[in-house]
């Protein structure tokens, strides 16, 4: 069967004219043992070394999930068999292709199985090269901490990276030592011996720890002119080379049953119970988020929360205290936190992921890949903007909005008070896909009445009159600055309209346009963010907007001092409106 | 002296009303031993656990670099003593405050010392909590690979994180095992014993490997009501508590000499030798970059290149082959790659960092922090956009531009042909700060003559006539599409102007505005990127721009098929211009 998978992989990548056949050949025995002996209906498999996609498609085909002739469509614009695995092919739970991400998703899946009291196991196939990614060790740490003996990592130790040999080449002992030091059971085996692989998998099944099977393999195994040779990474064979290779491999007329299944894991819609807030009460939106998350958790057992040792800052603490079995600590490892969420999502849970908004940048590549996994994850970033004050720039979220905007389908929300935060957490929890809620460290006054609705894609006009001459568009902590500016300007008989743009993506462009026109197109946008966030959004509908935003690298100071210094406080708004008119 | 540093840290954080005094108290002996015994003029120190800034400032004050009375200005808006270390205080080489970044910078610095044949050593103080960050293990890997026995990591094992105890608490053996498994010399010591610390540092100095000193410490050490207690992270003492604490610590009237120095490390300007290209020749801009990098390296010995096992894709390979001693392999560990560059930059080198543009997102938090380190780094991202084709979305750089734009001082460049690429590499190499060059996988025709100038902040009008009725603004691979569209439209007697916007930040707004006006403000922008990149830039100067950009999650396919499918090819441009007119 391994040879049959080899043949399939060579043929499909040659048909595609690109791909990574030698990276498939090294793991053919690992794949055949997994798919045709080990994997049970409740089990899950992640191909973390996503560039070996051809052999994954081959295994699915030989297991009967894909018509074999479809393999020839690899990488075509009309095929679900993409160059790297994506859930366009429904058996794929997690998109891979950016290395070092699969094991974290495996941790999330293994925890999901445990929560569901399933006996299912999770298998993750990694390359040796990708073990240089720190995220692999974040995941390893996490798996050991949660004693995930239902998780098995297989490392395809084929010695050769893309551009040169890997750090440890065929000296596989360091991998074993690393996994052991990170709290795993680990062993080194001959990755081309079916017997050795099956024995290792049996051992792993009985282990009390997560288990790493480090397989010594040969890149290009089975074809003499490819074996263990540099310069063949990511190169398909040409016609004659293919013929030669197939001749060497010989016949592989075999078919084997696979027990692998495709369980459905659809998550349910989240119901919700609101907290009450009083107008004028001072509540940080991060705190309102924390309480709303508890409300989500009460009504829905699929809600889980993952935090990176800042739960007393993001306020997921409330959830952790109320539902300790559904609160997961990733410690200070943000990539793993997001990877775990991808795994939870793939298993039908509704994960909330929270840290400081700026530390979400640590997981940018994981977040980017989560969209390709079609994951359902609710991101929450606290401590947005310069208004966090004395901690200084390293802790200020000033680049988070464009990061989320850059995903076409992501929802981006930025509430200004407790009532809207609570309502938006509800909206997020009902939304399927990637959504992001940006919260504020400082307390802000409650300005809305309980029960007011905040649909995704909406906005609120919070101050208006028939005489408005300018429009101030803002969200978050600067909304209060805009309201103060409105009041000061009104004293001088200058009427301004104020919009709370709590939904940045999707955007209510029509309402913005209408309000702008009613204010003679005098629009000032104010944001506690570097300058490219609101502009990226508003430019789709409004012209000639003046932006008040953070234009310089900020520094430590008191929140109000900083709002003033960087020109996004009420005084700056008043001045800009006056100048404009 | 340790107690003196404790007193300073408690007093300054109380004066500031915020800060992390208990995290300072645990490392007081480590800091006193380093600053008043170990550190020599050629040595460097990085406080990776940046939240312990008060004790760093205290050590500088006691060592005579800061007037002691300045400590009371901690975190104030007019002080260089920020909440977390930044180079506003000139002794700070590397900004910290996002955890897990210091060790990679240490690797870069240690390699710099070696290149300079300096005997200087690098000391990095980490927290135990931050050892959960995978980037720490990327750095550890890298240090062992390069046998950096001039690098010493000290881990302040104080057991308590921000929100709960760390994973391993006071069981420090796992840290030792991890460092050893990653190829380090490692030992566990009593972190409050001056004798033990000095002995460990002596051992480290003699080690043939990088050495990790894992110190068992007590958070809040020295003050009974703070010692080893949860709930005190990031909390300054109130007046009475401070008095009580100072009473407990007692007198510390000591002054000790420090040998620490502040070497100057200014990098020189890079000179350059151009390659020749023929108009019409097909050259990938990534290839032109690779050759230009060799030109940089020839003229300037401070140029170094760091790659993440894709040097045969980014084409830094040419540099690695020509200057093996200045080409550094970070393997598949992008965070460490950027962290190393921060270290090289701090030591006066001119580092170029290259990987696939999309994999730079893996290092977003490091890149963000690099700006606060005032680092001089040239980032190069290859394989931009959907035009990479069959590898599929995981490998397509579609979010890199906003990531770099979100840094106010970053230069963002996106050349379309070999001549402009080469010239822009020269411009980058002379620019001091963060700059980013986006390169293309596919070959594109050379459209400029050798010798043409491409200043940062400029643009090129590549097609123009006095009858132009629409303006197409683009860069990179879509420039050729715009030129094709221009030619097709011209056949129908529709004249379009075409701009190559090779410098996205800074932007030549005046020229854009002038050209737009001359084309009746009919502007189409075309980008091989998700939709928020050009909009964020152009909206500052132009109104009513129509954007052709990638609006959906893409997929595998052939480059030209994908340009068509996602509506950024010549046909889409022709159609949009016709519609507009």
**CA-to-CA distance for A49 and A414, rounded, in angstroms?**
36
Closest C-alpha to A246, from A231, A230, A226, A229? A226
Q: Which one is catalytic: A334, A422, A481, A527? A: A334
The pLDDT value recorded for residue A98 is 96
The pLDDT value given to residue A289: 98
In a mutagenesis test of the A interface, which of B391, B397, B543 is the best target, namely the one with the most A β-carbons within 10 Å? B391
Q: Does B173 touch chain A (CB under 8 A)?
A: no
3-state secondary structure A451-485: CCCCCCCCCEEEECCCCCCEEEEECCCHHHHHHHH
**Positive or negative torsion for Cα A183, A187, A188, A191:** negative
Q: List all residues 6 or more positions away from B181 whose beta carbon is below 8 Å from its beta carbon.
A: A174, A177, A178, A180, A181, A182
- Residue whose structure tokens are 């659809």: A266
Average pLDDT over residues B152-171: 97
Choose among B182, B407, B557: nearest Cβ to A76: B557
pLDDT for A432: 93
Strand (E) or helix (H) holding B45: strand B44-47
What percent of chain A stands above pLDDT 90? 94
**How far, in Å, CA of B339 to CA of B364, rounded?**
11
Q: Do A162 and B312 touch (CB under 8 A)?
A: yes
Q: What angle do CA A162, A168, A169 make, to 5 degrees?
A: 60
Per-residue model confidence (pLDDT) at position A274:
82
* Structure confidence by residue, pLDDT tens digits, A103-159: 999 999 999 999 999 999 999 999 999 999 999 999 999 999 999 999 999 999 999
A263 pLDDT more than 70: no
Task: Over range A279-284, report the average pLDDT.
Answer: 97
Q: Residue range B517-531: average pLDDT?
A: 97
Q: Do B392 and A307 touch (CB under 8 A)?
A: no
Residues B124 and A29: their CA atoms lie apart, in Å, by 44
pLDDT score, position A476: 98
Instruction: Tell me what ipTM this predicted complex has.
Output: 0.95
Mean pLDDT of chain B: 96
Q: How far apart are CA A53 and CA A13, in angstroms?
A: 10
Contacts of B181 in chain A (CB under 8 A): 174, 177-178, 180-182
pLDDT for B269 beyond 80: no
Question: By 3-state DSSP, what share of chain B in percent is helix, strand and coil, each rounded to 5?
Answer: 40, 15, 40
Concatenate the DSSP letters of all residues of A142-173 into one string.
Answer: HHHHTT-TTEEEEEEE-SB-SSSB-SSTT--H
Q: Which residue(s) pair with A193 in the sheet? A: none
Q: Which residue of A has its CA nearest to B16?
A: A390
| pLDDT above 70 for B264 | no
Position B544 scores a pLDDT of: 87
The answer on pLDDT for B305 being more than 80 is: yes
User: Nearest to residue B469, comparing CAs of B509, B511, B513, B516?
Assistant: B516
Q: Determine the pLDDT at residue B266.
A: 63
Cβ contact, residue pair A553, B133, below 8 Å: no
Residue B87 confidence (pLDDT) above 80:
yes
Please tell me the predicted confidence (pLDDT) of residue B363.
Answer: 98
Distance CA A21, CA A17 (A): 11
Q: Which two tokens stand for residue B146?
A: 């390069």
* B18: Cβ contacts below 8 Å, ≥ 6 apart: A389, A390, A391, B75, B83, B234, B236
Residues of B in contact with A167 (CB under 8 A): 141, 145, 331
Across the interface, whether the CB atoms of B556 and A332 are under 8 A apart is answered no
Instruction: Tell me which of A391, A409, A441, A548 to substitute to probe the interface with B (most B C-beta atoms closer than 10 Å).
Output: A391
Say yes or no for a CB contact (<8 Å) between A395 and B84. yes
Residue B281 has pLDDT above 90, yes or no: yes
* Stretch among A20-24, B149-153, B169-173, B427-431 having the lowest mean pLDDT: B427-431
CA dihedral B163, B167, B169, B173 (to 10 degrees): -160
Does B98 contact A at CB distance below 8 Å? Answer: yes
Work out the minimum CA distance from A254 to partner chain B, whole angstroms.
Answer: 30
- Per-residue pLDDT tens for B197-218? 999 999 999 999 999 999 999 9
Asked if pLDDT for residue A264 goes beyond 70, the answer is no
Residues pairing with A510 in the sheet: none
CB contact under 8 A, B162 and A310: yes
Distance CA A394, CA B52 (A): 13
Cβ atoms within 10 Å of B442's Cβ, excluding its own: 17
Q: Is A70 a catalytic residue?
A: no
Q: Which residue of B has its CA nearest to A50?
A: B394
Mean pLDDT in residue range A16-31: 97
Task: Examine the pLDDT at B267 and tell me if it is beyond 90.
Answer: no
Strands (E), B232-360: 282-284, 303-307, 327-329, 350-356
pLDDT digits (tens, 9 = 90+) for A368-393: 999 999 999 999 999 999 999 999 99
Mean per-residue pLDDT over chain A, rounded: 96
Does B409 have pLDDT greater than 80?
A: yes
Comparing alpha-carbon positions, the chain A residue that sits nearest to B546 is: A540
Which residues, in sequence order, are bridge partners of residue A500? A460, A474
Write the CB contacts of A207 (distance below 8 Å, at least 6 apart in sequence).
A149, A185
* Contact check, Cβ <8 Å, A307/B405: no
Suggest the residue from B394, B396, B543, B562 to mutate for an interface test with chain A (most A CBs closer than 10 A): B394
* pLDDT, tens only, B30-47: 999 999 999 999 999 999
Q: Hey, which residues of B are catalytic here?
A: 334
Q: Where does residue B274 rank: exposed (0-12), middle (13-18), buried (19+ CB within 10 A)?
A: middle
Percent of chain A scoring above 70 in pLDDT: 98
**pLDDT higher for A276 or A60?**
A60
Interface check for A107 against chain B (CB to CB < 8 A): the answer is: no
**What pLDDT, on the 0 to 100 scale, is given for residue B502?**
98
B17 touches chain A (CB under 8 A): yes
Best mutation site among B52, B400, B406 for testing chain A: the one with the most A CBs within 10 Å?
A: B406
Determine whether B224 is exposed, middle or buried from the number of CB atoms within 10 Å of its CB (0-12, 13-18, 19+). exposed
Average confidence (pLDDT) over B157-172: 96
Q: Would you say residue B503 has pLDDT above 90?
A: yes
Per-residue pLDDT tens over the stretch A442-501:
999 999 999 899 999 999 999 999 999 999 999 999 999 999 999 999 999 999 999 999
Closest residue in A to B505 (Cα) is: A532
Distance from CA of B566 to the nearest CA of A (A): 12
How confident is the model at residue B299, as a pLDDT? 86
Q: Is A253 on the interface with B (CB under 8 A)?
A: no
**Closest chain A C-alpha to B256 CA, distance in angstroms:** 30
pLDDT tens readout for residues A177-210 = 999 999 999 999 999 999 999 999 999 999 999 9
The model's pLDDT over A504-553, given as tens digits with 9 standing for 90+, comes to 999 999 999 999 999 999 999 999 999 989 999 998 899 889 999 999 99
User: Given a cut of 70, is residue B282 above it in pLDDT?
Assistant: yes
Flag if A336 and B134 touch (Cβ within 8 Å).
yes
């Amino acid at each position: 069967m391994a040879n049959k998978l080899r043949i399939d992989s060579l043929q499909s990548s040659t048909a595609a004219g690109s791909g990574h056949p030698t990276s498939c050949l090294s793991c053919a025995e690992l794949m055949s043992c997994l798919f045709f002996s080990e994997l049970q209906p409740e089990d899950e498999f992640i191909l973390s070394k996503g560039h070996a996609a051809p052999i994954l498609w081959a295994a699915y085909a030989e297991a009967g999930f894909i018509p074999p002739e479809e393999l020839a469509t690899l990488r075509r614009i009309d095929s679900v068999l993409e160059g790297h695995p994506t859930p366009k092919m429904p058996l794929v739970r997690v998109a891979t292709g950016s290395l070092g991400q699969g094991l974290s998703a495996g941790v999330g899946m293994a925890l999901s199985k445990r929560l569901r009291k399933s006996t299912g196991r999770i298998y993750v196939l990694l390359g040796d090269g990708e073990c240089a990614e720190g995220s692999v060790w974040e995941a390893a740490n996490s798996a050991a901490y949660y004693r995930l003996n239902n998780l098995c990592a297989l490392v395809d130790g084929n010695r050769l990276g893309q551009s040169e040999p890997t750090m440890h080449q065929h000296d596989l002992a360091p991998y074993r030592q690393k996994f052991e030091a990170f709290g795993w059971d680990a062993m080194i085996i001959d990755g081309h011996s079916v017997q050795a692989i099956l024995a290792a998998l049996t051992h792993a099944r009985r282990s009390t720890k997560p288990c790493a099977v480090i397989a010594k393999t040969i890149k290009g195994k089975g074809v003499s002119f490819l074996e263990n040779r540099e310069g063949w990474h990511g190169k398909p064979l040409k016609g004659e080379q293919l013929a030669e290779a197939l001749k060497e491999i010989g016949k592989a007329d075999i078919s084997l049953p696979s027990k692998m299944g495709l369980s459905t894991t659809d998550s349910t819609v989240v119901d919700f119970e609101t907290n009450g807030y009083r107008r004028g009460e001072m509540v940080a939106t991060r705190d309102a988020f924390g309480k709303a998350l508890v409300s989500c958790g009460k009504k829905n057992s699929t809600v889980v929360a993952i935090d990176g040792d800042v739960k007393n800052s993001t306020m997921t603490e409330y959830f952790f205290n109320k539902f300790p079995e559904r609160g997961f600590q990733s410690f200070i490892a943000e990539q793993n936190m997001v990877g775990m969420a991808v795994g939870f999502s793939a298993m039908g849970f509704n994960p909330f992921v929270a840290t400081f908004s700026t530390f979400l940048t640590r997981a940018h590549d994981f977040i980017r890949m989560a969209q390709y996994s079609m994951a359902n994850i609710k991101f929450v970033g606290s401590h947005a903007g310069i208004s966090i004050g004395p901690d200084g720039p390293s802790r200020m979220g000033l680049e988070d909005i464009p990061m989320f905007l850059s995903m076409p389908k992501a929802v981006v929300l930025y509430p200004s008070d407790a009532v809207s935060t609570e309502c938006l957490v509800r909206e997020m929890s009902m939304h399927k896909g990637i959504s992001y809620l940006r919260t504020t460290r400082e307390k802000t006054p409650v300005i809305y009445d309980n029960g007011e609705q905040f649909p995704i894609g909406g906005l609120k006009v919070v101050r208006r009159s028939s005489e408005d001459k300018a429009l101030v568009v803002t969200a978050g902590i600067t909304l209060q600055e805009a309201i103060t500016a409105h009041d000061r300007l009104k004293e001088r008989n200058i009427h301004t309209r104020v919009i709370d743009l709590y939904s940045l993506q999707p955007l209510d462009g029509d309402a913005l346009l209408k309000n702008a026109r009613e204010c003679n197109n005098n629009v000032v946008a104010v944001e506690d963010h570097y300058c490219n966030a609101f502009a990226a959004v508003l430019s789709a509908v409004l012209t000639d907007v003046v932006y008040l935003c953070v234009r310089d690298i900020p520094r430590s100071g008191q929140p109000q001092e900083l709002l003033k210094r960087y020109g996004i406080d009420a005084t700056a708004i008043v001045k800009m409106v006056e100048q404009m008119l």
